[in-house]
Chains A and B, each alone.
Chain A
Amino acid sequence: MAIPAKVVKIQDGKAQVDFGGGILREVDISLVDVKVGEYVLVHAGYAIQVLSQEEAEETLRLWRELLEAESSLETK
């Protein structure tokens, strides 16, 4: 299980992250290269990956595009 969180502060290989609603926790960020303001996936106290906002937007765009393209084809 891993939970997304926003990096709010970085100090000595550790980061304060916000899980939402002001739940702050210290996590180890030595497995990733991350900046303040970015989102990470946190698993058992360690950030395991940086989440890409562009890719998230792209996935949603692709979904919509695919759903719309195919349904418009079918109505023709």
Chain B
Amino acid sequence: MFEHLKFRDPDLARRIVEKIRETAPKKDVVKICHVCGTHEWTITHYGLRSLLPPTVEVIAGPGCPVCVTPASEVDEAIVLALKGVTVTCFGDVLRVPGSEKSLLDAKAQGADVRIVYSAMDAVRMAEKEPDKEFAFFAIGFETTAPSTAIEILRKPPKNLSFLISHRLIPPAMELLLGIGDLHIDGFIAPGHVSTIIGLKAYEIFPKAYRMPTVVAGFEPLDVLFAIYMVLKQLKDGVAKLENEYARAVSWEGNIKAQEIMHKAFDVVDSHWRGLGKLPSSAFKLKEEFAAYDAREKFGIRITQGRDLPLGCQCHLVMIGKIKPTECPLFMKACTPQKPVGACMVSIEGTCRIWAKFSTL
């Protein structure tokens, strides 16, 4: 990619870190929250936290789509699979715990569960085997939802239905601001989600909550610069919406993708793993596509599930309240090889990323 080398320039990085140190408060600790598994990956992989002064803390919010999917929806996929429906899903969905078991456990019991790389692959698979019933377990934020929507609008074969579990990022950010003892001072908004929903989706944060908000890309310098931009706003006593990731994010976002999503989905309240019910935080297939809705087609609706296995602190890790290392199970009972909680399963989960890269 044309920009990689320049966006990883060590000299520029050193100077940005210097500016961060100059701009950071001398005494009070500020807490900057990002909401994206890929940001956590960049921060941990490149050891960016070690470059920050002690008064700047960067925490990870609920930015891992697989992690926030509640057990009840995993249970729905498992029920479908055990009914004889072939369930297709992304790779890191396979081991996510439901209330009792995961899709991988169901597969071990003989259910037909298959990994796909994209919604497109799920359609092709169903086309190839017209005598089999398929259900695509559609997980992901606004980055992924347009691809599910476009395949549904293209009228895929009748033997394919969709278990929609798409979630929306801005309501999760609002949730964080409602948690009294979290005390967030600024947001780094997720770049990839923002390519779709645009800067405009975050206007509410500086306006209604006086929260400095910077949309950032995923190179190490992108993240460092976004941290600096938040610190600068805090120092100047202002709360603005800024775009560090202008090469991919516009004010309006991807309008084509937004239109496609709104044609296929209604916005509804939804449960997030361990976090309770969030208003207007998920997509549901519109009535006219009921024939493609796996819940309607097979009459399944599970509303209660056990989100947290015994001892699992995933709900606190997901809101940045504790670090993975503060969970009693981390790298003891819960490891990437034998994960207990959802945050250790997904490659975008905070625990999994810390397990892989962190030396802390």
Contacts and interface: CB of A to CB of B under 8 A. Distances in A.
Mutual binders A and B: yes
A39 B1 contact: yes
B38 A1 contact: yes
Nearest to B154: A30
A31 B257 contact: yes
Given A39-B2, A43-B192, A44-B140, A56 B90 contact: no
A75 to B, nearest CB: 13
A48 B118 contact: no
Which of A1, A32, A58 has the largest count of B CB atoms less than 10 A from its CB?
A1
A67 to B, nearest CB: 5
Given A1-B348, A52-B248, A44 B118 contact: yes
Nearest to B38: A1
B87 interface: no
A51 B248 contact: yes
B128 interface: no
Nearest to B348: A1
Contact of B192 (A20, A39, A41, A60): A41
A63 B12 contact: yes
B146 interface: yes
Interface in B252-308: 254, 256-257, 260
A26 B328 CA distance: 44
Interface in B97-150: 117-121, 140, 143-144, 146-147, 150
A56 B3 contact: yes
A11 B221 CA distance: 35
A2 interface: yes
Interface string B333-348: 0000000000000011
B121 A46 contact: no
A33 B19 CA distance: 38
B196 interface: yes
A53 B121 CA distance: 31
Nearest to A45: B118
Interface string B34-46: 0001100100000
A48 B225 CA distance: 24
A14 B273 CA distance: 36
A48 B119 contact: no
A12 interface: no
B246 interface: yes
Contact of A31 (B117, B150, B192): B150
B247 interface: yes
B27 interface: no
Nearest to A5: B1
Nearest to B217: A59
B6 interface: yes
Contact of B16 (A1, A28, A63): A63
B15 interface: yes
Contact of A48 (B6, B143, B348): B143
Given A1-B192, A46-B119, 18 more contacts: A1-B41, A1-B348, A2-B143, A20-B1, A28-B120, A31-B146, A31-B260, A33-B256, A39-B1, A44-B90, A44-B117, A44-B118, A48-B196, A49-B254, A51-B248, A53-B2, A56-B2, A63-B16
11 contacts: A1-B37, A1-B41, A28-B120, A31-B260, A39-B2, A44-B140, A46-B119, A46-B120, A49-B196, A51-B3, A60-B3
Interface of B: 1-3, 6-7, 12, 15-16, 19, 37-38, 41, 90, 117-121, 140, 143-144, 146-147, 150, 192, 195-196, 221, 225, 244, 246-249, 254, 256-257, 260, 347-348
Interface of A: 1-2, 4-6, 20, 28, 30-33, 39, 41, 43-46, 48-49, 51-53, 55-56, 58-60, 63-64, 67, 70-71
